[in-house]
Chain A
Amino acid sequence: MNIYYAILVHVVWFLSTYFVVVFMLALFYNRKKLYDSPEFRKNDKLPKISIIVPAYNEEESIADCIKSLKLIDYPKSLFEVIIVNDGSIDRTADIVREHTGKNIILVDNSKNKGKAKSLNQGISLAKGSYIACMDADTIVPSDILRKTLPYFKDEKVGSVTVSVEVRSAKNFLQRIIRLEYILGLSLFLKIFSLFNCVHVTPGPFSVYRKRLLDKIGYFDPENITEDLEIAYRIHKSGYKIANCMSTAVHTVTPHDMKGLYRQRRRWYSGALLTLWQHKDILAKNKTGLFGYFIPFNYALIASGLGLFVFSTYLLFSNIFRNLSYYSLTNYNFFSNMTFDFDLLAVSMFLFFGLSGILGMILLVTYSLGIARSSLERKPSLYFGYFILFFMYQAFWLASFFIVLMRRKVRW
């Protein structure tokens, strides 16, 4: 018996189960209202909005992005698109130039400044009372502004996020990530918004109140996850982040493990650095539930990682020990193998593990049942999702290491 392992199992089980149960209850109580969103009334004055699109070497996707922006159902005089070419060395600027016009403006920077600085440059030129920031590899639906802007009728709303879905998932990895986005960047954010705990305004598409941005400053150019960092400042300034599930943007995802690792390394390292940057909310919480949600979330991540490391160590030490035993019996693998399952020899750890896995399956299945998605629910996707979940633990570890070693993470 290892008392530390037993304590860790209890802590992780309790925190994760509590989290899942709160989530499921919130989902259950609000299941019929998740896709409801406020609307403009006939006599409402439509506000002016500026859409900022920073682009760096986006020659393959920028045209589709602009085409989708042109199809937005909103008076052309009331929205402008500012595309900031961030020193691309490909044909991005030329492609954008083909589309520029009255409400599509190109800002052509010769040098690469980074996403946050490009966004800030665009915001400083914007004339709208609301600012939508989006990625150049994202496609928006035509109703995006009519669905999101009415949320700002609530003066406490500082930002509105939308569902983010995967555009053309071709391989198995992308299909798993599609499942992950449907949950993590759509449904989960919606539920978090019910608690006023949205911790990120996703880069693919989020709308901000310009007055709020002027108050809190624009995006932090030093932060590699500027969309995460600004969410902390929005909460600190007393504003809410709303989520709109009735419309969704589509974005591209990494198509291989290397790309996925690079993306998650940036996300997770950025999340840790942002937490450090805003550590004051841990000591003195003035952000309501968000101030409890963040420490709870990171306590769960940290203890989960501890359990992952401990379990991996135990697993491999058992494998090595058994191999060393088998070396004594000339690797006679079959003689000591017993195929009779004895339920009584099962330890309590297995029940904790099984209940955790069952809880996750239940959460994913129930969430997908509620989400309006055309995703095929194949068992292989579930399996892949769980494998990916364990891989993310390794990515988190790598990110911890990077942050501790003060290594530079780039886009």
Chain B
Amino acid sequence: MVIKKNIFVYAAVITVLLLASIYSLNFYLNSQRENAVVGRMEEILDEYQEIQALSLMNDVFGGNITCLSLENTLSYMDKTLWDTGVKIDRYREATEQFSIDPFYQEQKRKFNRNEVVYFSMLKSMKEQCNFNQTVILYFYKKKEDCPDCDAQAFVLTDLNKEIDPEIALFSFDSNLDLASVRTLGLFYNITDFPCIVVEEDTYCGLKNKNQVADILCRYREHSICQ
């Protein structure tokens, strides 16, 4: 029995091909992730146009005709926004295990801008249509700058799942250095991270679920209030 020396060459070629197929699969999934994120962002933009149309109708026609439609759309939107934010972070984490992808940074910026727009619209409509959702703004930074931010997001996700229709939750990434997010931060006097703003009042530092529930219950009766 003799081993031919080219067995080492064949093995190297097969190994490289296997590595290349893993990379190809990963590239394919990366592009699928990007398509999924872009698709979601387009859906959000469509919804914005719908909200803008309803908002304009509200200004022109007045009254409560459009409020019901608006409330349904807004309720769907805030859930979609939070889920999209979580999804972008998960896809970004999966993609950036091996390399930094500027796509996610860009999408996150767009996403945060959309959130600011949506939040502003919700704020202006809230009084007109007498919406009774409690609005929570969540300001965070990346893990290196804010070790407690992931934990705070975890608590808010948990709460959002439990009382989703009762709250509208917005997350703002302060590392993106967007002028709109910075302005919001200045307006609400965000000095530390993580920080949440509930109905115009600012609460900085990590809060557990009970503490957030206590804060929420100060403003409105929620299903989690005892």
Minimum Cβ distance to chain B for residue A7 (Å): 10
Q: What A residues does B161 contact at CB under 8 A?
A: 335-336
A349 touches B11 (CB 8 A): no
Instruction: State A336–B153 Cα separation when bound (angstroms).
Output: 11
Given contacts A325-B150, A346-B29, A355-B22, 17 further A-B contacts (CB under 8 A): A1-B97, A21-B15, A25-B10, A25-B11, A25-B14, A328-B151, A329-B209, A330-B210, A332-B158, A335-B158, A335-B161, A336-B158, A345-B90, A347-B97, A349-B97, A351-B22, A351-B25
Residues 1-26 of chain B, each 1 if its beta carbon lies under 8 Å from chain A, else 0: 11110011011101100110011011
**Complex Cα gap A30–B2 (Å):** 9
- Chain B nearest CB from A276 CB (Å) reads 28
Number of cross-chain contacts by CB at 8 Å = 102
B100 within 8 A of A: yes
Enumerate chain A residues within 8 angstroms of B210, measured Cβ to Cβ.
Answer: 330
A17 within 8 A of B: yes
Chain A residues within CB distance 8 Å of chain B: 1, 6, 13-14, 17-18, 21-22, 25-26, 29-30, 33-34, 36, 194-195, 321, 324-325, 327-330, 332, 335-336, 342-349, 351-352, 355
B contact set with A: CB distance below 8 Å: 1-4, 7-8, 10-12, 14-15, 18-19, 22-23, 25-26, 29, 32-33, 36, 87, 90-91, 93-100, 150-151, 154-155, 157-158, 161-162, 206, 208-210
Tell whether, in the assembled complex, residue A345 and residue B94 are in contact, meaning their CB atoms are under 8 Å apart: yes
B209, A330: Cβ atoms under 8 Å? yes
CA gap between A139 and B16 in the complex, in Å? 45
B1 contacts across to A, CB distance below 8 A: 30, 33-34, 36, 194
Which of B12, B91, B208 is within 8 Å of A344, CB to CB? B91
Interface of A is mostly: helix
Query: Which of A13, A14, A329, A343 counts the most chain B CB atoms within 10 A?
Result: A329
- The 29 sampled A-B contact pairs (Cβ below 8 Å) are A14-B15, A17-B15, A17-B18, A21-B15, A21-B18, A22-B7, A22-B8, A25-B7, A25-B10, A25-B14, A26-B3, A26-B7, A194-B2, A194-B3, A325-B150, A325-B155, A329-B208, A329-B209, A330-B210, A336-B154, A336-B157, A344-B32, A344-B33, A345-B90, A347-B97, A348-B22, A348-B23, A351-B25, A355-B18
Residue of A nearest to B157 (CB): A336
Closest 10 CB pairs of A and B: A328-B208, A21-B11, A347-B94, A22-B11, A325-B154, A347-B97, A329-B158, A329-B209, A348-B26, A18-B15
| Residues of the A chain whose Cβ atoms lie less than 8 Å from the Cβ of B150 | 321, 325
Residue pair A1, B15 in contact (C-beta under 8 Å): no
- Residues of B within 8 Å of A30, CB to CB, are 1, 3
Nearest CB of B to A242, in Å = 10
- Chain B residues with CB below 8 A from A335, complex form: 158, 161-162
Nearest Cβ on chain A to B89's Cβ, whole angstroms: 10
Known: A335-B158, A346-B29, A352-B22. A325 touches B151 (CB 8 A): yes
Taking CB atoms, residues of chain A closer than 8 Å to B32 are 344
Complex: how many Å from CA A121 to CA B8? 43
Instruction: Give A327 to B154 CA distance when docked, in angstroms.
Output: 11
Q: Please report the C-alpha to C-alpha distance between residue A352 and residue B94 in the assembled complex, in whole angstroms.
A: 13
Q: Are B22 and A6 in contact (CB under 8 A)?
A: no
Pick the residue among A36, A332, A355 that contacts B209 (CB under 8 A).
A332
Q: How far is the CA of A328 from the CA of B209 in the complex (A)?
A: 6
Contact call A195/B97, Cβ cutoff below 8 A:
no
Q: Could you tell me the distance in whole angstroms from the C-beta of A190 to the nearest C-beta in chain B? A: 9
Residues of B within 8 A of A194 (CB): 1-3
Q: Does A1 contact B26, Cβ atoms closer than 8 Å?
A: no
* Distance between B191 CB and nearest chain A CB, rounded to angstroms: 22
